[in-house]
Amino acid sequence: MLPLRSASLDSAAGYPYFRAMTDHEHHHDHHHDHSELSETDLRVRALESILIEKGYLDPAALDVLIETYESKVGPRNGARVVARAWTDPAFRDRLLKDATPAIGELGYAGRQGEHIVTVENTPELHNMVVCTLCSCYPWPVLGLPPVWYKSAPYRAKAVKDPRGVLRDFGFELPATTKIRVWDSTAEVRYFVLPMRPEGTEGWSEDELAELVTRDSMIGTGLPKRPDQVQRSEGTS
């Protein structure tokens, strides 16, 4: 990974949808966004109480939904799938042939992952996943998508200049590597199987899972190198 530059905040100022909505940025770029956010907050609270009072919503169901996607379903699931594929050739074959049942073997299934296809990175081919029309993303293995994945810059640029996108993420793909961008325009959800990093011979599945980043399963990053993690003693 060759670090190129840090992201600047200039060109998209004034377009809330394009940006990560952090408090820090709000204070600096949009003075009135703080009160707008509070307005949204109040509006959502009012909406929630209206819908509960009308009997359309079970408040306890909302809590279960939030807990599911905030703490249970996330990219650690996908990392387990990748680590299994790196250590179990028969599983890897099943994952590439028919991903949905293979991923189901690890207990991950359901909403926004009903029809998953795994695409494998090789030294000759790099895969990247986008949804140019909205935000389609394989929830059971990666959780909810990050803001940048749903943002206009990524959705616009990924299909035309994916090498430039990778530069935005701080790395340069070799000029001779083919790149295939999968635009998720229907209900098929794509999941990238990254290449196993060199120098990990003999690592356990648990240790390998620690190397698998969310972005490496979208195709906008690579797994960590062995020297980027603390390998825990006694787990191999």
Partner 1 sequence: MDGAHDMGGVAGFGPVRPEPNEPVFHAEWERRALAITLAMALPGGWNIDTSRFARENRPADDYLGMSYYQIWLAGLERLMQDRHLVEADELAAGKVLHPAKPVAKILTADEVPAVLRRGGPTERPASQPALFAVGDRVRAKDIHPPTHIRLPRYVRGHVGRIEAVRGVHVFPDSNAHGHGEDPQWLYTVSFNGTELWADAPDPLLEVTVDAFEPYLERA
Stretch that binds partner 1, among 41-49, 76-84, 197-205, 224-232 (CB under 8 A): 41-49
Three-class SS state of 193: strand
Neighbouring CB atoms inside 10 A of 209's CB total 20
Residue from the set 81, 83, 103, 148 that interacts with partner 1 by CB under 8 A: 148
Residue from the set 1, 27, 35, 41 that interacts with partner 1 by CB under 8 A: 41
Stretch that binds partner 1, among 76-84, 145-153, 191-199, 223-231 (CB under 8 A): 145-153
Q: Which of residues 169-208 bind partner 1 (CB under 8 A)?
A: 169, 175-188
**Residue 172 CB partners (closer than 8 Å, separation 6+):** 2, 4, 163, 166
The candidate with the shortest Cα–Cα distance to 62, out of 48, 43, 72, is 48
Alpha-carbon dihedral of residues 99, 102, 104, 110, nearest 10 degrees? Answer: 10
Q: Shortest Cβ distance from residue 209 to partner 1 (Å)?
A: 19
The candidate with the shortest Cα–Cα distance to 197, out of 185, 188, 209, 206, is 209
**Residue 6 CB partners (closer than 8 Å, separation 6+):** none
Where in the sequence numbering do the catalytic residues fall? 131, 134-136
User: For partner 1, which is the closer residue by CB, 82 or 166?
Assistant: 166
Question: Contact between 121 and partner 1 (CB under 8 A)?
Answer: no
Question: Contact between 58 and partner 1 (CB under 8 A)?
Answer: yes
User: For partner 1, which is the closer residue by CB, 203 or 212?
Assistant: 212
Q: Shortest Cβ distance from residue 155 to partner 1 (Å)?
A: 4
User: For partner 1, which is the closer residue by CB, 186 or 199?
Assistant: 186
| Cα Rg, the chain, nearest whole Å | 20
Residue from the set 54, 199, 201, 233 that interacts with partner 1 by CB under 8 A: 54
Question: Contact between 212 and partner 1 (CB under 8 A)?
Answer: no
- The contact mask relative to partner 1 for 87-116 (x = CB under 8 A, - = no) is ----------------------xxxxxxx-
Q: Shortest Cβ distance from residue 72 to partner 1 (Å)?
A: 10
Q: Shortest Cβ distance from residue 208 to partner 1 (Å)?
A: 22
Stretch that binds partner 1, among 82-90, 151-159, 194-202, 205-213 (CB under 8 A): 151-159
Cβ(152)–Cβ(133) below 8 Å: no
What single-letter amino acid sits at 124? E
Q: Which of residues 64-83 bind partner 1 (CB under 8 A)?
A: 64-66, 68-70, 74
Neighbouring CB atoms inside 10 A of 89's CB total 9
Phi, psi of 136, deg, nearest 5: -60, 135
Phi, psi of 161, deg, nearest 5: -140, 60
The candidate with the shortest Cα–Cα distance to 129, out of 175, 171, 162, 176, is 162
